[in-house]
Amino acid sequence: MTPPAELPEHPDWLWRNPDPQPSYDVVIIGAGGHGLATAYYLARNHGMTDVAVLERSWLAGGNMARNTTIIRSNYLWDESAAIYEHALKLWEGLAEELDYDILLSQRGVLNLAHSLQEVRDSVRRVNANRLSGIDAEWLSPEEVRAICPIVNISEDVRYPVLGATYQPRGGIAKHDHVAWAYARAADRLGVDLVQHCEVTGFEVRAGRVVGVQTSRGPIAAGKVALCAAGHSSVLGRMVGLRLPVQSHPLQALVSELLEPVHPCVVMSNAVHVYVSQAHKGELVIGAGIDAFNSYAQRGSFHIIERQLAAAVDLFPIFANAHVLRTWGGIVDVTPDASPILGLTPLERLYINCGWGTGGFKATPASGWTYAHTIANDAPHELNRPFSLERFTTGALIDEHGAAAVAH
Ligand SMILES: Cc1cc2nc3c(=O)[nH]c(=O)nc-3n(C[C@H](O)[C@H](O)[C@H](O)COP(=O)(O)OP(=O)(O)OC[C@H]3O[C@@H](n4cnc5c(N)ncnc54)[C@H](O)[C@@H]3O)c2cc1C
């Protein structure tokens, strides 16, 4: 999708491939979904176009290319519900806004409950969601089967299905298209998307960040915005910022292409697997995180083995399907399973990380609120609660219940 530097311009290229300029008003580190969305909203909402997004590898080749594309907003706490629901509303108009088909499919998301405690927690979450104006329902096992006939609701399995939460507006979108759509729109507004440009250090003067060192030379910057997901703590360390973030591998896999058999998204915390069927026909099956820390973008075989055992338990029809491909990404997990989005102790340095296993669904709202924070040097109402300081004040937003299954 990106032209090699030596090729002339072509109408099919989605964005230019510029060399980095010596200075920008804003430098964003990381061209994943969040970095690209931030660049777009900086230009679109705040008129800031002297912006570069620096990517050490190729555009959107990190978690943005590796996620299982589930979108929903049914988180427990008001703060989370507000930001994820803002994202869902933006998703609903995004194809039109960016003039690009992102294949948004609001096919509904089921979160299964397999124990009495899970039932109580899930019903509480449904009630909280409704109070926040989010579409949420509690379903009996028979109602689950009516929506997804291939789920095994028999009582003769290790973890019988006791019910499920259901968000009809949840679903999936095509992650590559989302990245390309934001990239093209940002590029057209004048943003430089600079690939193969790794940030290796920061220029700091009197407590203020004034630029970055990169593999393609130094770049001066009025403001610098971290947006590096699994590599956030590596970048933080370069500038003396110790982040409460652990980086873990998270794996997923796909089956061969199948006829349509699975009409929605099904997730299960207890057996720890989640499944949807991609537009093309593959079953997209996600696992839990590998317990060790790593930056290697691959995980262990036993996690996949467990994931497939859980999938076959829930969906006996999958027993004869073949695995086509497995892969891993590196996700940035915080102690309260909520993101960090806001200011840092250093002037003109901003942080966006900690989305862990569930940041794809937040992409539009993350970009929207991060752009506001950067442009105004102050958080947007929606990201104010997600400050870095909450780990010292204790005002945590514990979303382990809603975010525990990796998605
Ligand atoms: C297997 C898997 C399944 C997932 N499933 C879901 C899901 O179903 N739903 C959901 O909501 N979320 C899901 N996620 C989580 C989601 O993918 C992430 O939370 C989200 O993509 C993170 O934001 P991003 O897109 O900006 O990250 P990334 O795409 O990882 O972007 C960060 C970028 O920073 C770049 N970078 C790092 N260091 C430097 C440096 N020094 N200099 C320059 N660039 C640098 C990286 O190369 C990378 O491109 C999943 C993740 C994985 C791995």
Q: Which H, E and C letters describe 208-236, residue by residue? A: EEEEEEECCEEEEEEEEEECCHHHHHHHH
Q: How far apart are CA 271 and CA 101, in angstroms?
A: 34
For residue 24, the cross-strand partners are 221
Q: Ligand 1 pocket: which of 91, 333, 357, 363 to mutate (most atoms <8 Å of CB)?
A: 357
Q: Whose CA is nearest to atom 3 of ligand 1?
A: 67
**Would you state the pLDDT for residue 271?**
84
| DSSP per position, 243-307 | -S-EEEEEEEEEEEE--S---SEEEETTTTEEEEE-TTSEEEEEEEEPSS---SS---HHHHHHH
Q: Ligand 1 pocket: which of 34, 238, 360 to mutate (most atoms <8 Å of CB)?
A: 360
Q: 91 CB contacts (<8 Å, ≥6 apart)?
A: 71, 102, 104, 173, 361, 364
Q: How far apart are CA 97 and CA 392, in angstroms?
A: 39
Query: Which is nearest to 77 in space by CA: 392, 373, 390, 406?
Result: 390
Q: Whose CA is nearest to atom 31 of ligand 1?
A: 32
Alpha carbon 396 to chain centroid distance? 20
* Most distant pair of Cα atoms in the chain: their distance: 66
Using a 6 Å CB cutoff, which residues line ligand 1? 29-35, 54-57, 60-64, 66-70, 198-199, 227-231, 235, 250-252, 286, 329, 331, 355, 357-361, 407
Q: Angle at which helices 78-98 and 175-188 pack, to 10 degrees? A: 70
Distances (CA, A) of 174 to 100, 109, 122, 180, 183: 11, 16, 28, 10, 14
- Calculate how far, in angstroms, residue 230's C-alpha sits from the geometric centre of ligand 1: 7
Name the amino acid, one letter, at 11.
P
Q: Whose CA is nearest to atom 52 of ligand 1?
A: 67
| Torsion of the alpha carbons at 12, 106, 65 and 125, rounded to the nearest 10 | 150
Q: How far apart are CA 187 and CA 36, in angstroms?
A: 10
Q: How far apart are CA 290 and CA 357, in angstroms?
A: 12
Residue by residue, pLDDT tens for the chain (407 residues) are 455 556 666 677 899 999 999 999 999 999 999 999 999 999 999 999 999 999 999 999 999 999 999 999 999 999 999 999 999 999 999 999 999 999 999 999 999 999 999 999 999 999 999 999 999 999 999 999 999 999 999 998 889 999 999 999 999 999 999 999 999 999 999 999 999 999 999 999 999 999 999 999 999 999 999 999 999 999 999 999 999 999 999 999 999 999 999 999 999 988 888 999 999 999 999 998 999 999 998 999 999 998 999 899 999 999 999 999 999 999 999 999 999 999 999 999 999 999 999 999 999 999 999 999 999 999 999 999 999 999 999 999 999 887 755 55
Q: Ligand 1 pocket: which of 34, 56, 63 to mutate (most atoms <8 Å of CB)?
A: 63
Distances (CA, A) of 147 to 15, 31, 119, 130, 167: 41, 37, 19, 20, 12
- Calculate how far, in angstroms, residue 62's C-alpha sits from the geometric centre of ligand 1: 5
Residues in the chain: 407
Decide: residue 117, CB within 10 A, 0-12 exposed, 13-18 middle, 19+ buried.
Answer: exposed
Distances (CA, A) of 348 to 181, 245, 330: 28, 21, 27
**Would you state the pLDDT for residue 239?**
97
